[in-house]
Amino acid sequence: MRGFLVVSVTLAQLGCTAALAQVPTNPVQSADRMQVANCVRQGMSASPGCIGLVAVPCVSAASANDRAQAEITCARREEAVWRERLTLAGATLERTLEAGARSQFAALQLAWQSYAVQKCAFYGASQPPARSAGLQAGCELREVAERALEIERFAARQTRRPPAAPPQIIR
């Protein structure tokens, strides 16, 4: 059973890596990272308001001729920040979990990634062709950002738990 668990976790991690590899890479800009971090630091209840903090002004600054491409580029730029936060929150959470829970979390992340990719592909395909790529990139940004915030909140609760009491020896 233990060997099966190890193989399952390994396959789930490889699957997550493959799914993540499908997303175009976009290096995180430190100014974007700081802007999102400052917004989130102001309070987790206001954090959903932080989504679009980088992308919206970026698109607004683009010329009318470049707007369609800017929607994609700017969404990917901010998504890189949120994806980085998601990865770090996931690693933090995994450190607090036991082996079985880590395996479940890896499977959950794989399922979430598959869902997000399919949801946004469907959403993009249902839009007018001239707007579909930009709207799909925006959907992916929202999905990754919302998942990052969810995992960050959960990881924070897990790390604040009091340590388990040492076993009591009864004599």
Q: What is the pLDDT along the chain (171 residues), one digit of tens a residue?
A: 445 444 444 444 544 444 444 444 667 889 999 999 999 998 766 678 899 999 999 999 988 889 899 999 999 999 999 999 999 999 999 999 999 999 999 999 999 999 999 999 999 999 898 889 999 999 999 999 999 999 999 999 887 765 566 666 766
- Could you tell me where the DSSP H helices lie in the chain? 2-21, 30-41, 55-61, 67-96, 99-125, 129-159
Which burial class, exposed, middle or buried, applies to 34 when counting CB atoms under 10 A from its CB (0-12, 13-18, 19+)? exposed
The full set of domain ranges for the chain reads 26-159
Per-residue pLDDT, 65: 85
Token digits for 112? 């979430």
109 within 8 A of 16, measured Cβ to Cβ: yes
pLDDT of residue 158: 85
How far is the C-alpha of 28 from the C-alpha of 23, rounded, in Å?
14
pTM of the model: 0.77
